[in-house]
Amino acid sequence: MEVADPRIASAHITKVRVDSELAFVNVYVSSPEGSQRAVIILKGLNHASGYLRSELARRVQLRHFPRLRFYWDPSPEHADRIDRLIASLDIGEDDLEASNNSESTSDD
């Protein structure tokens, strides 16, 4: 399904949750560009929600298709930050082997 709105071109769906009454679908999105584009992307998705909902309803056979709600998911940004922090620790392979060896000998 294609949406021509350039505001949402870089959006990625990270998670989808349907409530128990099938009234709402909570769609969590992120972007490689980060949270500085969150407001723009969410506005674009909310603007296109009617079209997206009708297209999904056409493809998914439900008596009543739930309303779409969009939320920003900061998880990918948090994961990138953790990766950068770990990489900045500058732990060499020798340090890791020494740490693993000391842990295995202390278990004895």
Ordered domains of the chain (ranges, CATH): 1-73 (3.30.300.20), 74-108 (no CATH)
- CA–CA separation, 79 and 92 (whole Å): 21
Whether 27 and 70 have beta carbons less than 8 Å apart is answered as yes
Q: 104: pLDDT confidence band, cut at 50, 70 and 90?
A: low
pLDDT in tens, 80-93: 778 778 888 876 66
Residue 85 has phi, psi (to 5 degrees) of: -65, -45
pLDDT in tens, 34-83: 888 899 999 999 999 999 999 999 999 888 999 999 999 988 777 777 87
Does the structure show a pLDDT above 70 at 16? yes
Global confidence as pTM: 0.71
Sheet of 12-18: strands edge to edge?
12-18, 24-30, 67-72
Per-residue confidence (pLDDT) for residue 106, from 0 to 100? 57
Tokens encoding 70:
């969009």
What's the helix, strand, coil split of the chain in %, to 5?
A: 50, 20, 30
- CA–CA separation, 87 and 20 (whole Å): 41
